[in-house]
Homo-oligomer: A and B are copies of this chain.
Amino acid sequence: MRKAAVLGAGYMGSAITYPLSDSGIEVNLWGTWLDDSIIDSCIRGNHPKLKQKMPENVNFFYSKELKAALKDVDMIFIGVTSNGFVDVFNLVMDNIKDNVPFFKLTKGLVEYEGNVERIAQAAEKIFRKKFGPKEDFLMTVIGGAVNAAELSKKIHTTSIYAPNNEKLFSVPGTFSTDYYSVIVGRDPVGLEISSAFKNVFSIMVGISDGIFAPKYGRGHYVNLNSFIYNQGMIEMSKIALAAGGDENTVFNLAGMGDFYAATLSGRNQRYGEEVGKGGKPHETFSSLFEKGEVSEGYMALKISLEWIKTLDPNLPSQLPLLNAIYSIIFENKDVEKTLMEFLSN
């Protein structure tokens, strides 16, 4: 029986255990230092966020039990939040002897040694410190339109797995179940960018919901939300191209499909909606964060313009939607006025 460690017992880490279990894989689910109460709850009965029992062949590990969780596993899934990624990946290096393939569920950008980077870039640097320059760094980027709560309810979901090495191309298909279709992607960079930025751009759809749903009734302002969605896609494709990704990845399930889903549900839309209703950007983020409802889009947004400048110094000026969101969230600009200016220009 294959054995996987899944790191992070939040929404996505926990949800992935369902198709893994149903694919006949034994799963060690490890919770971070923020997740100990989740692990408690899972052992006693239900997952507190997914509000249901975890699969049969999942073993639970508290934060202090990382070494045991990683023992004899064939693969490691990482589903912690982006702000915990570097710490957790360093801990993983301290607690494994042999090289194993990594599967990255975490979405966003990270700060590592003073620079903003894609998560897979930072992970490789951390990996090389332990394993040196010659060992294969095997990381599969996971993306696609995957709302974790839906996946845990076994509602039909299609996910994309983009390995960074041809050796891994045959693996993702072994995780498919009747409700979980896995597609192998060939563009981990484009997939990583899409996953990170769909969270960022979904904030503005949420902001629009927060402003206009009370005025017109939810769903009665699709003309302007579709304009935001469309512009988000255009800007996402520009960013992916500049980072060395492929436009065709963005204009497919990795970007277009996942962003579609993210605008309609999820923590970034909800965060934006609170801001649209008048919530202060930082306070709203913090209070949701404390409840374990982390807006990854907020964290990626914070460092995105700085990162994009390193790709192409002229690119930020070609991203009016990204700039509008940034100025609302991090520059205290008037929410409705900024949105209307974006729509009219």
Contacts and interface: CB of A to CB of B under 8 A. Distances in A.
Contacts of A222: 145, 147, 150, 260-261, 264-265
A253 interface: yes
Q: Give the interface size class of chain A.
A: 35 or more
Interface in A154-172: 155-158
Tell me how many chains of this kind the complex includes: 2
B230 A260 contact: yes
B233 A146 contact: no
A227 B158 contact: yes
Contacts of A151: 223
Interface in A260-308: 260-261, 264-265
A195 to B, nearest CB: 13
Contacts of A219: 264-265
Contact of A220 (B150, B220, B251): B150
B252 A343 contact: no
11 contacts: A145-B223, A146-B223, A149-B220, A150-B220, A150-B221, A151-B223, A178-B344, A227-B253, A229-B260, A230-B256, A260-B260
A220 B221 CA distance: 20
A230 B216 contact: no
A49 interface: no
A50 interface: no
A101 interface: no
B343 A216 contact: no
Contacts of A155: 212, 216, 220-221, 223-224
Contact of A145 (B216, B226, B260): B226
